[in-house]
Every structure is written in C-alpha cells, then in structure tokens.
Amino acid sequence: MSRLVDLNADVGESFGAWSLGDDARLVALLTSVNVACGFHAGDPLTIQRTLGLARDHDLGIGAHPGFPDLQGFGRRVLEATPEQVYADVLYQISAVSGMARTAGVALRHVKAHGALSTRAWTHAPTAVAIAQAVRDYDRALPLVVLPATLLETEARALGVPVVLETFPERAYLRDGRLAPRALAGSSIHDPHEAARRAVMLVTEGRIEAIDGGYFECRTDTLCIHGDNPNAVEIARAVRAALEASGVTIAPFSVPETA
C-alpha cells in the first residue's frame, strides 16, 4: 500500500467570540487544511486569520463547505434542494478562494463538511450538486471524499479529480461509512489508538469495522477533526507512528482531470 500520505484537519471553526480548536498548534503537524467557509462555522475574520496561518506553514488549502447550520455545527441534515446545495457550495468555495487569493495562496481542494458530506454518501442528487459546483468553479480542483460512497462515484462520473480520505479517529462500519456519532465508540480520543489505526489504514489499506470485519480502502489523505479535544495530541501521535513505519507525510498529488 501507499508509503506517502497527506495529513489534514478541519480548521477555522471558531465564530465571533466562540472559540473552537487549537489551530495554532495543530497546523504545525499537518500538510493540508480544510477551512470552514462561514456556513457551519467560521466568519470572515476567522477565515482570513486561518488562511494566513496555513500560508505561513506552507500548507495545502481547501474550502470546507457545509449546510447553513451554525447552531448545529453543520451536523444536522437540512432538506435542501439540489439547486440550493449547488449554490451554497459554489458560494462557499468562491468566498474562501477569493480570500485565499488576497492572502497570496491558491485554493487546492474542496471537502464537504459534516451532514452535507454524509448526505452525499447515499443521496445522489446531493452528491451531484456538490460535485457539479466544484467542477463549475474549476475543472482541475480536486474533491476530497470518503471512499466507496456516491459522492466518489458521482464526482468521478463528472470528471472531478478525487482524493480519497480516511479518518483514524473515527470508527467505521463494514460498508465504509463512518459510524454515527450517537453510537458508542464512534469517536476515538486516545492518541495511541488513533495512531495505530492510521498506520493500518495507510500501510494495510484496511481498518476494523465497529460492526465486525474490515473496511478495505485506499488512503490519499488522513483527517484529524480540529474539534476533537485531543486533536493536537492525536495528530502528533499519528505523524510519529506513520514516520516510524516508513511512511512519508507530504501533500497529496493533485489528480489529473478526467
């Protein structure tokens, strides 16, 4: 399996006087970031500061669009039409990309957040709307997706470059979906366990499923959730374990447009 992997995190998720995560410490351990676009979290000043932080650490920068759900942190499914999803995603990509340009950096990828992403795993109209918004903004812009989902399938069908992402600090079901957060054991907070899982995902191409057996997949990038209370410790442990296993931590290669 792969001996090179990207390490990313969801960042910029503070809003106004409300602070979430320890981005200043976390980014030093990463190669890419996904910047909240202001719909599920973030605001213009937070986006600007986060982009500057990512630029100063020479990280690959992605837009992290979500449902317009600040109260629920974008983790509640909204019954939005495909037209609404398309417009919302395009708007969010445009906002972060424009602010990135003024910071002297370019947008490198897009990754859907929370319920917007999980909805697109099994709901084709949502998956198509997300992928079409990315394609219409920039045909060469990669979409970071969970393997074996409709979002991957529909993105590939539209010719959107795809980067496959897995999560060492989230439990999996046998079919490749992340275990629902309401399920006991769905989130991993032990840095050593997250590190073990990261090594298995990258070097063996599989991970134990919470409902038995294994989920087999390829990993181009590993994600650490910035809102995990142990995010910094997990990222540090994951990085150390991967390097000890001979894995190189580096930004993912941008796939060619189909």
Per-residue pLDDT in tens (0 to 9) along the chain, 258 residues: 558 999 999 999 999 888 888 999 999 999 999 999 999 999 999 999 999 999 999 999 999 999 999 999 989 999 999 999 999 999 999 999 999 999 999 999 999 999 999 999 999 999 999 999 999 999 999 999 999 999 999 999 999 999 999 999 999 999 888 888 888 888 899 999 999 999 999 999 999 999 999 999 999 999 998 878 889 999 999 999 999 999 999 999 888 665
The CA-atom distances, in angstroms, between 155 and each of 1, 87, 135, 136, 143 are 24, 17, 9, 12, 8
- Token pair of 185, please? 């054991």
> What b/e readout covers 222-244, taking b as 16+ CB neighbours within 10 angstroms?
bbbbbebebbbbbbbbbbebbee
Model-level pTM?
A: 0.94
Looking at CATH, the fold of the domain delimited by 4-249 is given as TIM Barrel (3.20.20)
